[in-house]
Structure 1
């Protein structure tokens, strides 16, 4: 379906938008806008878009080892870059740096070759994982004067690398001349000056080329061997997510390259493909919004890619490259809020694959075709419920009632499945592992709160397209859980909720964040929970809990940090939400960070590092800032399905301004606000056939004016249904353009 992205003139929202996000949607436009093809000056947000402008991407920088001539020609053009490897010398290699993650098939344009060269190709999201040092031991003693030593393995040895035999003050540092895999012997120069006992540690630097993805869960990765026989384009194998490509000429000879790059095969979104946008007075927040969008685009695989049917939103560009229901809770709103129609299509297609794998007992898989086995993985009961909530999210944002009604029986079966895990306290006990990848036993607070949210979401869905009696039943079950959580899982000693009934003294982030977000916490305990959560913060984000880490050593989960920022927005702690957002995601959008990929990371440790090569540096579940900056900072959320009724309630914090657009089935909602301590002004343009409620920061003594008419003054409403609550005056508006001003006395 054709579409264009809205262009906004000046600071006032006057957008032309074309969007369709469900099967019955049609093209619509808001008057006064101009399509991008008709303008000469690009909107300022265009500079943040990370998608490549062409399906052919080329490196922005190169590095070399060994004999390489004219390597920068691969960046700037000119003479071909020539790699030459001589026997006994360091193999010539060239490292292509794309400056950010890309996805697709690396290629080489071969201008000339000598002999029958063999090339190795490896990819990595990080420079730290593109080479792995050898780490072995001497299997027999070697005497002084020897120039070789037998080792337990020759893995990751490379000619020309530095070899360290021994450690500390007695270490002997040499250069590798050769190694023999069959005899497991390494030869070096100069010869030994001291005896080397058997069992001596032997290491190398910088190591041999390695990929950060071995092809395990993703089905792609590892070292590819290329054997060119003629000039022309040589295409390597598909790789899901990488910033770096390392090409090594492993055999004697030479090869000249007139070009090198990658054919991009993720979802390539240019500014014209964006149906949503965001900007604010914070450059860092702006970069976060577009990094989250790009993360999900890297995770989007089109129908037929690598033989898989259907458009899919995968969890990671590199790994696992599977549809995961928990990840879709973040990825779905990001895809729709940034790409509109296309994002909705990818989410719907992914949900179809999840629902098609539903078990007879109602359980939904965590992932419908877990790679590389391509079979459903029923990962956890919590992830089963996440699948239901992802379907409801699709309906909430698109208004696709036909789809939701068709899937409703499957969703109801899933809730029947979950109901079996309730105990005598009215709480869930499922011995699940969830996103920590660690089994948690007993009455787990987070699992109960996720089930509470599932029941409330299903109640909402039933009121729209199902049974009012079922909606009432779901709400009653949710209230039972709320009571049970407060009666049995609150810890006075922690001043917060415990991890579980079997770990009552452990403070965790996710459970307490969810409790705040869903209104579970009694009003007199909100500050206590907020303070307890603050105790888990580090300069690189909040940890998952006191003394806790996942099985791989990670202590900070961006997915969980997204739960906490959402919670802080919910309770009005905008400063805390933006502070934590900066700690967790600010480092990820910093181009100076060695781990920068332009995308968001799956896990990290308390010092801000990512220590495992296989950890994903483009993982959709980490993209919460993109959703929250749209819905909490810009302030736009759907009230009725498909934004038939919408809300605009900004949380400005210390920001001076924000502006953006949100795609809906009816057209774009455009918002533009400015803020200072005494004045808040907001322009909103709502699409036809919709209504909205606009809430502006104000006090009882404020004066609020809508389109030139005073609607609130002297502590009372004067029109437009103006109401004061929790530091906001809210007014009802219809479609079209409106200007709201609050004098913040």
Structure 2
């Protein structure tokens, strides 16, 4: 049977809105038939949220009138014509297309040529996966894949950044994002640029979901940061070249540290010694930028370049900055110790580890508030921020398990039914900072609390009628509206807020690494440390240049059974301490709850009379 083609007959001044069903992005084409010689005959407008389906497009430039982009005018010859939007009028992220007729037209064959992840042959074929059959935990599956798809829409060809200065009225996506492509960018619609803070979350998501393709985009974003590193100071850029921040010379202490953390993660995910050797001088200069900024009295970093993710406050011994510095120092100290010996490279591992230890002691002495079980934003204020506390908890700035648990509990004081309101940016719920908090609760061995947060915030991001239903927004206001950062740079322009932002994808990382429990934690090292939080069964896996990782585990009554597969040639640790199992068997032989394995591929771990601590 011949498929019937949909035909849209439109009179002058009429309009029709089409729903692609999910977030898409790319080049629209359509067949137009018209008898009109006056131009334009129609216009195209794009929207992510159902709230902004209208005759003008979502904004990519934030102005108070909320009509920056307007619509794309289409002029065609009289008769029947196939039309494709110009290359530079690529539209990065949208779910809805509105066609407005300026004269009588007939429209057919409306198509979106996908413009993201263009090097991926099959967009549906993910390298990684996560699945739990638990009926009451289906939001976890949805959150994992929404995070993956969000980042997929954030894998951009090299020359599809926003043109700067921006076109008004209208838009152009023909700016060079980085030194090569494709690259990981911060958002499908905008800013379409490399941002180091975003890479701290989305880089891991890209790796877990897409394997090779994700790592290529991740690597190219890092190469861009290295290319623009200050040769004399070692400072890494606040943002990539396709931003106004880069053009104005803005700098950021926190995003410098985020760059190094993203580099470290890429290095251990790939085990790429050649790449690490190539950039070891860049890395060393980047870490020296931190060590040179640590004062002699406390070994803490006074924040002088406070540009960040939009938070207010900061300065002095900022808790978020120093937590990020600590993790950069301690991570590279560990990596340098394990890798440089094999590479025959001299490193400053001991110096970095010593600096990290001193920083941690002073951090607790100066910033910990015993009364509230929270770290202060700095030593001059009583404000306790979500970002600094989440980072401190995630990166082990606490000095005991009891302190970590107290901090984890104290963070819930910021919670609402749809997520935490961050004190450092009032009236705001940030999925970026909440992604860090989510991981932090797992670090404190509080998986039930972490999953509670997932059910609150990420269920809202997926189920609210304001959203795309397929991707994750960059932020919302405290009441759940899209007026994110209304008073902080976005000029109350809700249509400017990105609804597909890679920094909001923390659950993808948390569910694979912490619930499924199989994680790369160092140079050719992995750990299996599953955390249930009430989940009874999980299947998960991901691909790395080191080889494939896969885990299937289930809990039945008081028994636990897992099969894990990891690449040979790596060192792994089985850690079931949090399960409090009376008996643990490794391939049928009794072992302790923590066991190191060398050069093993597949193993079966079985625990009996287990309860979760």
Q: TM-score range by the shorter chain?
A: 0.7 to 0.9
C-alpha change, 1:372 and 1:262, in structure 2 (3 Å) is farther
Residues 537-616 of structure 1: matches in 2 within 5 Å?
Answer: 537-545=415-423, 548-549=424-425, 554-590=427-463, 593-611=465-483, 612-616=494-498
Equivalent residue for 1:723, pick from 568, 580, 592? 592
Q: Which residue of 2 aligns with 1:495?
A: 373
Could you tell me how far apart the structure 2 residues matched to 1:662 and 1:735 are?
17
Q: Which residue of 1 aligns with 2:364?
A: 486
Indicate the SS of the match to 1:588.
helix
Indicate the SS of the match to 1:106.
strand
Equivalent residue for 1:311, pick from 182, 200, 218? 182
Q: Which residue of 2 aligns with 1:104?
A: 26
Equivalent residue for 1:338, pick from 182, 204, 209? 209
Q: Which residue of 2 aligns with 1:129?
A: 52
Could you tell me how far apart the structure 2 residues matched to 1:669 and 1:214 are?
39
Indicate the SS of the match to 2:9.
strand
CA deviations 1:100-159 (Å, max 9, x no partner) are 21110122222444443521221111122234xxxxxxxxxxxxxxxxxxxxxxxxxxxx
Residues 132-151 of structure 1: matches in 2 within 5 Å?
Answer: none
Indicate the SS of the match to 1:273.
coil
Indicate the SS of the match to 1:396.
helix
Could you tell me how far apart the structure 1 residues matched to 2:188 and 2:555 are?
38
Q: Which residue of 1 aligns with 2:310?
A: 436
Matched-pair contact (CA < 8 Å) for 2:420–2:429: yes
C-alpha change, 1:425 and 1:693, in structure 2 (3 Å) is closer
Indicate the SS of the match to 1:744.
strand
Q: Which residue of 2 aligns with 1:737?
A: 602
Could you tell me how far apart the structure 1 residues matched to 2:384 and 2:441 are?
17
Q: Which residue of 2 aligns with 1:320?
A: 191
Matched-pair contact (CA < 8 Å) for 1:704–1:740: yes
CA deviations 1:14-39 (Å, max 9, x no partner) are xxxxxxxxxxxxxxxxxxxxxxxxxx
Q: Which residue of 1 aligns with 2:168?
A: none
CA deviations 1:520-553 (Å, max 9, x no partner) are 22324334322321100011111212xx426xxx
Equivalent residue for 2:92, pick from 229, 240, 247? 240
Q: Structure 1 residue 376: deviation in Å? A: 7.8
Could you tell me how far apart the structure 1 residues matched to 2:569 and 2:602 are?
13
Q: Structure 1 residue 683: deviation in Å? A: 1.1
CA deviations 1:547-573 (Å, max 9, x no partner) are x426xxx51111111111111101110
C-alpha change, 1:744 and 1:732, in structure 2 (3 Å) is farther
**1:228 and 2:104 correspond:** no
Q: Which runs of 5+ in 1 are unaligned?
A: 1-75, 86-90, 132-208, 712-721
CA deviations 1:564-597 (Å, max 9, x no partner) are 111110111000000011111111222x633124
Matched-pair contact (CA < 8 Å) for 1:587–1:593: no
CA deviations 1:149-186 (Å, max 9, x no partner) are xxxxxxxxxxxxxxxxxxxxxxxxxxxxxxxxxxxxxx
Q: Which residue of 2 aligns with 1:188?
A: none
Indicate the SS of the match to 1:743.
strand
C-alpha change, 1:366 and 1:700, in structure 2 (3 Å) is closer
C-alpha change, 1:418 and 1:340, in structure 2 (3 Å) is same
Matched-pair contact (CA < 8 Å) for 1:449–1:514: yes
Equivalent residue for 1:279, pick from 123, 128, 131? 131
Indicate the SS of the match to 1:506.
coil
Matched-pair contact (CA < 8 Å) for 1:494–1:532: yes
Residues 7-26 of structure 1: matches in 2 within 5 Å?
Answer: none
**1:692 and 2:572 correspond:** yes
More helix by share: 2
CA deviations 1:218-244 (Å, max 9, x no partner) are xx9442111121423212221111111
Q: Which runs of 5+ in 2 are unaligned?
A: 161-173, 484-493
Q: Structure 1 residue 488: deviation in Å? A: 0.8
Indicate the SS of the match to 1:704.
strand
Indicate the SS of the match to 1:441.
coil
Matched-pair contact (CA < 8 Å) for 2:182–2:217: yes
Residues 65-464 of structure 1: matches in 2 within 5 Å?
Answer: 77-78=4-5, 80-85=7-12, 91-116=13-38, 118=40, 119-131=42-54, 209-215=55-61, 221-229=69-77, 230-236=79-85, 237-250=89-102, 253-267=103-117, 270=122, 273-280=125-132, 281=134, 282-305=137-160, 306=174, 308=176, 309-359=180-230, 360-371=232-243, 375=247, 377-423=249-295, 424-431=297-304, 432-438=306-312, 440-464=314-338
Could you tell me how far apart the structure 1 residues matched to 2:184 and 2:413 are?
35
Could you tell me how far apart the structure 2 residues matched to 1:681 and 1:733 are?
21
Matched-pair contact (CA < 8 Å) for 2:33–2:81: yes
Could you tell me how far apart the structure 2 residues matched to 1:447 and 1:620 are?
21
Indicate the SS of the match to 2:96.
strand
Matched-pair contact (CA < 8 Å) for 1:335–1:343: yes
C-alpha change, 1:427 and 1:225, in structure 2 (3 Å) is same
Q: Which residue of 2 aligns with 1:535?
A: 413
Q: Structure 1 residue 695: deviation in Å? A: 3.0
Could you tell me how far apart the structure 1 residues matched to 2:246 and 2:348 are?
35
Q: Structure 1 residue 328: deviation in Å? A: 0.9
Could you tell me how far apart the structure 1 residues matched to 2:360 and 2:245 are?
39
Pick which of 432-441 and 360-369 moved more.
432-441
Q: Structure 1 residue 698: deviation in Å? A: 6.8
Matched-pair contact (CA < 8 Å) for 1:672–1:683: yes
Matched-pair contact (CA < 8 Å) for 2:521–2:527: yes
Matched-pair contact (CA < 8 Å) for 2:257–2:325: yes
Could you tell me how far apart the structure 1 residues matched to 2:234 and 2:317 are?
22
CA deviations 1:431-468 (Å, max 9, x no partner) are 31311343522221111111111111221232134466
Could you tell me how far apart the structure 1 residues matched to 2:124 and 2:467 are?
29
Task: Compare CA radii of gyration and give the structure with the larger one.
Answer: 1
Q: Which residue of 2 aligns with 1:637?
A: 519
Could you tell me how far apart the structure 1 residues matched to 2:546 and 2:363 are?
40
C-alpha change, 1:703 and 1:494, in structure 2 (3 Å) is closer
Q: Which residue of 2 aligns with 1:710?
A: 589
Indicate the SS of the match to 1:257.
strand
Matched-pair contact (CA < 8 Å) for 1:111–1:231: yes
**1:509 and 2:386 correspond:** yes
Q: Structure 1 residue 616: deviation in Å? A: 0.7
Could you tell me how far apart the structure 2 residues matched to 1:310 and 1:320 are?
16
Matched-pair contact (CA < 8 Å) for 2:117–2:182: no
Q: Structure 1 residue 285: deviation in Å? A: 0.6
C-alpha change, 1:231 and 1:271, in structure 2 (3 Å) is closer
TM-score normalised to the size of structure 2? 0.86
Could you tell me how far apart the structure 1 residues matched to 2:538 and 2:7 are?
47
